[in-house]
Amino acid sequence: MSLLSVEHVDARHGLLHAVRDVTLDVAEGETVALVGANGAGKTTLLRTIAGVHRPSSGRIRFDGADVTRLAAHRRAKLGIALVPEGRRLFAEMTVEENLRVAAATRRTGPWTVDAVLEVFPLLKPLRAKRAASLSGGEQQATAIGRALMANPRLFLLDEVSLGLAPVVVEAMYESLDDLIASSGTTVLLVEQDLGRALRAATRVVCMLEGRVVLEGAASELSREQVTEAYFGLRATA
């Protein structure tokens, strides 16, 4: 059984039809990269899975249960955690305070402040520092750590590399690889860098104008195939 099943989901922003009839399954332990150009519907789909955005039709199942109408905080208690685009930390709170915010919706599990700081050691000397004073990479590590504090079964990551220097992105993905390997957490991530998506994921799903137009094992898809689907250069649906 899939841990996550998205069944014929549509989602809108007013008149904008952002997600169109998307069906997607994610097995437990998978790392799935969701790729596509700006406006393809990736962020809206992640927000819909997390319960932040309500679908106009379709169904979402998590571990076999229908969660389509559940509020975001109730999905978090079931084990769905979202790291949103733009980080959205509490600027005046410290790193440690931002991490502890997630305790209100946490599940029982191994992730504590100290465990997060082991995965992201760059945060250790910064735990008492305000989020507003952190660099972009430090803020992103804090945002990921905050989501981990909920002890998620499904980890939704939206553009973790956005606006970061290449060396910071490399360090970020090394930390993510370590935590995935150690915890077996299921990951659905949005990533603009196709090369990195193909390296990081076990499976790649490409969206175009709100629809899934290509999906397959990362090891079996070439960069050229994904690029063609990404820009709609050939019929893939």
Please give the structure tokens belonging to residue 55: 């679908």
Strands 31-35 and 57-62: unpaired
- The C-alpha atoms of residue 138 and residue 144 are separated, in whole angstroms, by 10
Nearest Cα residue to 24 out of 47, 44, 43, 2: 2
Topology (CATH) of 4-230: Rossmann fold (3.40.50)
For the chain, domain boundaries = 4-230
Residue type (1 letter), 109: G
Full pLDDT tens readout for the chain, 237 residues = 699 999 999 999 998 999 999 999 999 999 999 999 999 999 999 999 999 999 999 999 999 999 999 999 999 999 999 998 777 899 999 999 999 987 766 677 888 999 889 888 899 999 999 999 999 889 988 998 998 898 899 999 998 777 778 888 888 788 777 777 777 789 999 988 888 888 889 999 999 999 999 999 999 999 999 999 999 886 544
Global confidence as pTM: 0.89
Tally of CB atoms within 10 A around 14 = 6
